[in-house]
Amino acid sequence: MRIENPDSISKSPDGRPIADQPIWREQFPIDWPTDDFRSRRDFTKLLGLTSLAFVVGQIWIAFLAIRRRAAGPLPALQVASREEIPVGGSKVFDYPRAGATCVLTRIAADRFVAYGQKCTHLSCPVIPKPAENCLQCPCHDGVFDLATGHPLSGPPRRPLPRLQLEVRDEGVFAVGVEEGIL
Amino acid sequence: MAVPESNEFFVDPGRCIGCNACVQACSECDTHKGYSMIQLDILDRSSSPQTIPVICMHCDSPTCAEVCPADAIKRTADGVVQSARKPRCIACNNCVLACPFGVPKMNTGMHLMMKCDMCYDRTSVGKKPMCASVCPSQALFYGTREQIEKLRPSSRPVHEFRFGMQEITTKVHLMVPRRSPLVALDVGAALRLAPAGDISGGEDPLLSGMAEGTFS
């Protein structure tokens, strides 16, 4: 007898309806149509497609890197004039494109540092703390060294992307990115 | 593909002549991997030549599947209880011990329980199961209800069984005498009728019970 409704072919030994049955009867049904079989072939297909997606992703990353290299060096951008920022002061700007927020800090009379502002943990903006000689991320209390950008404590494991700076007569210029992708 | 609704299996033990043709034919079925899944029970050789072919009754609530700890025994939507799924079966023998009809067979070499699956490769495309196609006396009959009523005017099918407290309704039917008042075949009561320790005693309790209608 072919019965289309799976509930009606599942007759439990005590004869009560499916709603009164323990949950494992639903999770491990005897009836083939209600069982969620995962065959070895399905699993292999899933593995194959996932690795294919990874391969495509790697090719895409390589393509982006080649395109960036072909575009040549990043343009210089004047961030601030030399006297605009006091020692211990900082300024937020966008480099190399709008939306890629960076923060410039004057840590000494003749020393400037600039980093991408996205925390390498979960992309919260980091806040320079020149008094403690660090950059702090308020989200999970990640701390980066203000002089190098390397993580000191908290969840981040990768350094902040560091900007190459040039101090010219007319001001402080960002001329490139040292590591990471902004 | 599914087994057509119109075709049903009827077992008529009274017609069995014990020729073993079904046992041989069963191993020819492609889904049985060369093994015979049917068993020819000899009831009491000293007093009677009676034999009963035992095929899977395909219960509405399959005990074999109920006791399977690996969730390996499945029933398809047409009500056919299939052999254990090979990737899941752990060869624990629970089903073999639990089935009231004694149908599942453990293949220790293959680490797999196999059972009568009504020759699913054949019945799902409209053919008869191997055993029913060779049975010379048609004790194993596969066909429509109209056919069996026309062929066996003095018998009628039952598909309810009782084993102690357990009540079982099956997809496969057993033919009983038409005049017998029994509704459900109480196998447990039939076994209790046999005198204790006396296995040589005259009549077979199951068959005599059927004839006398002692079962309700």
- Separation of alpha carbons A137 and A116, rounded Å: 12
A32 touches chain B (CB under 8 A): yes
* C-beta atoms of A2 and B79 within 8 A: yes
Tens of pLDDT, residue by residue over B21-71, are 999 999 999 999 999 999 999 988 898 899 999 999 999 899 999 999 999
Structural domains counted in chain B: 1
pLDDT at A182 > cutoff 60? no
Domain ranges of chain A: 6-70, 77-177
A9-51 pLDDT per residue, tens = 667 777 787 788 888 887 788 888 887 766 788 889 999 999 9
From A2, which residue of chain B is nearest by alpha-carbon distance?
B78
Closest by CA to B60, choosing from B40, B41, B75, is B75
A114-118, B12-16, B88-92, B193-197: range with lowest mean pLDDT: B193-197
CATH of the domain at B108: 3.30.70.20
Q: Is B106 within the bounds of a domain?
A: yes
What pTM did the predictor assign? 0.58
Complex ipTM value: 0.72
From A4, A32, A40, residue closest to B74, measured CB to CB: A32
Asked, for residue B42, whether it belongs to a domain, the answer is yes
Domain assignment present for residue B37? The answer is yes
Q: Token pair for residue A7?
A: 């509930």
Most A-contacting residue of B3, B8, B57, B61 (CB-CB within 10 A), to test interface: B61
B162-177: b or e for each residue (b if 16 or more CB lie within 10 Å)?
Answer: bbeeeebebbbbbbbe
Q: Tell whether B26 is covered by a domain.
A: yes
Residues of B in contact with A33 (CB under 8 A): 76-77
pLDDT of residue B37: 94
Contact A30 B79 (CB under 8 A): no
Considering only the beta carbons, identify the residue of B4, B65, B171 that sits closest to A30.
B65
Contacts of B126 in chain A (CB under 8 A): none
Asked if residue B3 is part of any domain, the answer here is no
| CA–centroid distance for A80 within its chain | 29
A4/B77 Cβ within 8 A = yes
On whether residue B2 sits in a domain, the answer given is no
Sheet holding A111-116, edge to edge: A90-94, A101-108, A111-116
Q: With left for phi above 0 and alpha for psi between -120 and 50, is residue A141 left, alpha or beta?
A: left
For B85-134, the pLDDT digits (tens) are 998 999 999 999 999 999 999 999 999 999 999 999 999 999 999 999 99
B187 contacts B162 by C-beta, under 8 angstroms: yes
* Test mutation, B57, B71, B120, chain A, max A CBs within 10 A: B71
Residue B150 pLDDT level (bands cut at 50, 70, 90): very high
- Shortest CA distance to A80 belongs to which of A167, A176, A182? A167
Our separate counts of H helices and E strands in chain A read 3, 10
B7 in Cβ contact with B142 (< 8 Å) = yes
B contacts of A5 (beta carbons < 8 Å): none
**Helical segments of chain A, H only:** 6-9, 23-27, 40-70
Which range (A78-92, B74-88, B192-206) has the least confidence? Answer: B192-206
Name the pLDDT band for A181 (thresholds 50, 70, 90): low
Distance CA(B179)–CA(B182), nearest Å, equals 9
Which tens digits make up the pLDDT trace of A74-111?
888 888 888 888 888 999 999 888 888 999 999 888 88
**Which residues have CB under 8 Å from B169's CB, separation 6+?**
A11, B59, B60, B61, B159, B160, B161
> Beta strand B155-163 with B185-186: parallel, antiparallel or unpaired?
parallel
Residue range of the domain that includes B42: 8-212
Q: What's the mean pLDDT in A141-159?
A: 93
Q: Which CATH architecture has domain A77-177?
A: 3-layer Sandwich (2.102)
